[in-house]
A and B are shown apart, each in its own frame.
Chain A
Amino acid sequence: MIEIRHLTKIYDDKIVLQNINLDINNGDFVVIMGPSGSGKSTFLSIISGLSRPTEGSVCYDDINISKLPESDVGKFRNSKIGFVFQKFNLMENLTVYENILPPVIIAEKKITKKDIFELLKRFEIDNLSDVKVKRLSGGEQQRVALARALVNDPELLIADEPTANLDYRLKNEVIDTFKKIHYQGKTIIVATHDRVFTEIEGARIINMINGKIAEMV
């Protein structure tokens, strides 16, 4: 369970997030909606430990990651959280397989090459393992980013605008993938403009405006 309490983030005197309180249960599918600049991405970056809050706390069960030393946050993120970025943030000159490696290299648990290929197969990109990602289509790149996020089998998958750069067909593919991952018992938090996510059965919808939670469904 994730307990978010009094979360505030101020950048250069500008309040980006203001006193956010939220509980997310294991297995939840949380969809965060809201206009650009509403603080969705900042919120995701803080709950994933990529940024620190100005005030407040983010607790995973009893662990407050906002107070953990940087090295422990890294280890925590590596084992518990997978993150998919809007622009995928893949290393373009590396191959698909090499792009999956960063979380594996520093993982506490052993992940074999076979495990990685099984994952690539799940996302139907095993035949592209030796191809540089810059040669892939947007949809293929998105699947590589997803595979990288899931390779350490994290409990939580966070995605920032995962369908923003995709056409209609690919968008549906990605949504199906998220549904499958959720069906396997993972907790998913997605920040998006895409209303299609709100139609996912059982999804909790959170609307953010001006750094505050305006509505929770």
Chain B
Amino acid sequence: MKIGKEFNIFLFSIKLLLKRKSSYYIFLILMVLVFFIASASFITASIKKELILTHEELPDIVIQRVIGGRQQYIPMDYIDKIVSIPGIKSILPRVWGYYYFDYSGVNFSIVGIDPLEPFYKKSLEENIKHIKTDDLIKRDDWMILGNGVRRLFSEIGYVDYAYFKKPNGEYIKLRRFDYLTQESAIFTNDIILISQNTARKLLGMDDDYVSDIVVNVYNKNEVVTIAAKIRDILKDARTVTKKDVLNSYQNVFNYKLGFFITLFGVLIFTMMVIVIDKLGGLSETEKLEIGVLKATGWTTSDVLRLKFYESSFLVLQAFIIGVLLAVIYVYILKAPIMMNIFSGYASLKTEYQLIFAVDFKTLFLIFIAIVPFYIAAIIIPTYRIATLDTYEVFK
């Protein structure tokens, strides 16, 4: 095989491809299909990665107080009642809730923290470079913003400080202290960290109450037993274990998987239509092209290679451009519309940063479902035509 000849066959195949209108339609269909499936795959992979990251940070047990099906604040003395349960490693009362920012029509998560508490101190040091936690102890009017909140505040001119309304209608002015980093965005994007005192004021919570209580245990195999013991002692308490949280994620993903399978079904169906159409015979233009090539001395092998280059070029371009557009759509444009279907965070309008994650298995699956099938759908009828008597092809 001469490289010069082969290169010229390749160039000529591209010429023929670009001059055929139907090539553009097929390219467009394939590219759009790849784009949709790849976008869905990227979003799923990104959320999965996020949840894996988050999973490590989830507490073993969260204790909530539920009365009449509604969550209530928990008295602090509940901690004293469970502290003696064997196997408990740590207990952390949390003060948090949602704050509706009516100017933008957005809910933020407000989390009250005690900078001296080892858990919060460690988290702050991990998420904010060069933080001086001592400065946070001296005063109460500070706030640390998640990335989504930061963006939204800067859009409305809240750069250095912001006003928050208490339940009694009075306003509190809080100064921006710092920002959280962009990593693990799913739970930090809409968050505002403030002092516990300020959080209590904004959430209308008394000093001897908390939102929920987080428990970590020494032996992970004992989580269920310890949770049962907690429920025994605290009759109005509900316990949510790490496994429960992951199960709820799993349920969400099952429905998303259904969505994904539907998209994949559409892909397979479309590919079948294209393949069946091509196997049914090439167009008259393509037949004539093959006849001309044969008549001017091309062998069947030359013609098949030309058609291989032609179909590979088209389908690979469609695949690569489809995937690149999906990358731009998901990671740069933040997947408008499709993200709402996948994230389940649509009730919180703050934006969610998708972590860059590629599911190579799914990409490979899309590649397999499209590329070889399309090439085969071109090569098989080409072989049929190219092996006919050339004179027959023109008839």
Closest to A77 in B: B297
Residues on B with beta carbons closer than 8 Å to the beta carbon of A101: 12
Q: Is the CB of B297 within 8 A of A75?
A: yes
In the bound complex, CA of A132 to CA of B295 (Å) = 21
Proximity bits, A12-28, B CB within 8 Å = 1, else 0: 00000000000000000
Closest to B301 in A: A71
Q: Is the CB of A51 within 8 A of B15?
A: no
Q: Is A165 an interface residue (CB 8 A)?
A: no
Q: Determine how close the nearest CB of chain B comes to the CB of A50; give it in whole angstroms.
A: 4
Closest to A89 in B: B292
Q: Determine how close the nearest CB of chain B comes to the CB of A113; give it in whole angstroms.
A: 12
Residues on A with beta carbons closer than 8 Å to the beta carbon of B8: 105
In the bound complex, CA of A107 to CA of B302 (Å) = 12
Residue among B9, B298, B392 with most chain A CB within 10 A = B298
In the bound complex, CA of A43 to CA of B213 (Å) = 96
Q: Determine how close the nearest CB of chain B comes to the CB of A111; give it in whole angstroms.
A: 11
In the bound complex, CA of A74 to CA of B390 (Å) = 11
Q: Is the CB of A93 within 8 A of B295?
A: no
Residues on B with beta carbons closer than 8 Å to the beta carbon of A52: 389
Partner among B292, B301, B391 whose Cβ is within 8 Å of the Cβ of A42: B391
Residue among A79, A106, A148 with most chain B CB within 10 A = A106
Q: Is A1 an interface residue (CB 8 A)?
A: no
Q: Is the CB of B5 within 8 A of A106?
A: yes
Q: Determine how close the nearest CB of chain A comes to the CB of B61; give it in whole angstroms.
A: 70
In the bound complex, CA of A103 to CA of B291 (Å) = 12
Interface residues of A in 45-78 (CB under 8 A from B): 45, 50-52, 70-71, 74-78
Given that A91-B16, A102-B12, A106-B302 are contacting pairs, would A74 and B297 also be in contact in the complex, using a CB cutoff of 8 Å?
A: yes
Q: Is A153 an interface residue (CB 8 A)?
A: no
Proximity bits, A78-90, B CB within 8 Å = 1, else 0: 1100010101011
Interface range for B? 20 to 34
Given that A105-B8, A105-B9 are contacting pairs, would A91 and B289 also be in contact in the complex, using a CB cutoff of 8 Å?
A: yes
Q: Determine how close the nearest CB of chain A comes to the CB of B382; give it in whole angstroms.
A: 15
Residues on A with beta carbons closer than 8 Å to the beta carbon of B288: 89, 91
Q: Is the CB of A106 within 8 A of B298?
A: yes
Proximity bits, B377-395, A CB within 8 Å = 1, else 0: 0000000000001111010
Q: Is the CB of B394 within 8 A of A93?
A: no
In the bound complex, CA of A91 to CA of B285 (Å) = 8
Main secondary structure of the interface of B (DSSP, over half): helix
Q: Is the CB of B297 within 8 A of A45?
A: no
Q: Is B200 an interface residue (CB 8 A)?
A: no
Residues on A with beta carbons closer than 8 Å to the beta carbon of B340: none
Q: Is A41 an interface residue (CB 8 A)?
A: yes
Proximity bits, B52-89, A CB within 8 Å = 1, else 0: 00000000000000000000000000000000000000
Q: Is the CB of A45 within 8 A of B299?
A: no
Q: Is the CB of B292 within 8 A of A102?
A: yes
Q: Is the CB of B295 within 8 A of A83?
A: yes
Q: Is B272 an interface residue (CB 8 A)?
A: no
Q: Is A98 an interface residue (CB 8 A)?
A: yes
Q: Is B294 an interface residue (CB 8 A)?
A: yes
Q: Is A94 an interface residue (CB 8 A)?
A: yes
Q: Is the CB of A74 within 8 A of B298?
A: yes
Q: Is the CB of B391 within 8 A of A41?
A: yes
Q: Is B173 an interface residue (CB 8 A)?
A: no
Residues on B with beta carbons closer than 8 Å to the beta carbon of A51: 389-392
Residues on B with beta carbons closer than 8 Å to the beta carbon of A93: 19-20, 285
Interface range for A? 20 to 34
Q: Is B343 an interface residue (CB 8 A)?
A: no
In the bound complex, CA of A45 to CA of B391 (Å) = 6
Q: Is the CB of B293 within 8 A of A102?
A: yes
In the bound complex, CA of A26 to CA of B308 (Å) = 40
Q: Is B362 an interface residue (CB 8 A)?
A: no
Residues on A with beta carbons closer than 8 Å to the beta carbon of B299: 70-71, 74-75
Q: Determine how close the nearest CB of chain A comes to the CB of B294; give it in whole angstroms.
A: 7
Q: Is the CB of A102 within 8 A of B389?
A: no
Partner among B5, B15, B391 whose Cβ is within 8 Å of the Cβ of A50: B391
Residues on A with beta carbons closer than 8 Å to the beta carbon of B15: 94, 98
In the bound complex, CA of A89 to CA of B294 (Å) = 12
In the bound complex, CA of A87 to CA of B292 (Å) = 12
Q: Determine how close the nearest CB of chain B comes to the CB of A40; give it in whole angstroms.
A: 12
Closest to A88 in B: B292
Residues on A with beta carbons closer than 8 Å to the beta carbon of B12: 98, 101-102, 105
Residues on B with beta carbons closer than 8 Å to the beta carbon of A76: 297
Q: Is the CB of A79 within 8 A of B394?
A: no
Q: Is B270 an interface residue (CB 8 A)?
A: no
Given that A70-B300, A74-B302, A102-B12 are contacting pairs, would A91 and B292 also be in contact in the complex, using a CB cutoff of 8 Å?
A: yes
Q: Determine how close the nearest CB of chain B comes to the CB of A160; give it in whole angstroms.
A: 9
Proximity bits, A110-154, B CB within 8 Å = 1, else 0: 000000000000000000000000000000000000001000100
Chain B residues engaging chain A, CB cutoff 8 angstroms? 5, 8-9, 12, 15-16, 19-20, 285, 288-289, 291-302, 389-392, 394
The 5 closest A-B pairs by CB, nearest first: A78-B297, A45-B391, A93-B19, A103-B296, A50-B390
Known: A45-B389, A89-B288, A105-B12. 13 other contacts (CB 8 A): A45-B391, A50-B390, A71-B300, A75-B297, A89-B292, A89-B394, A90-B292, A93-B20, A94-B19, A102-B292, A103-B297, A106-B9, A106-B302
Task: List 7 A-B pairs, Cβ < 8 Å.
Answer: A50-B295, A50-B391, A89-B288, A90-B292, A103-B296, A106-B297, A148-B296
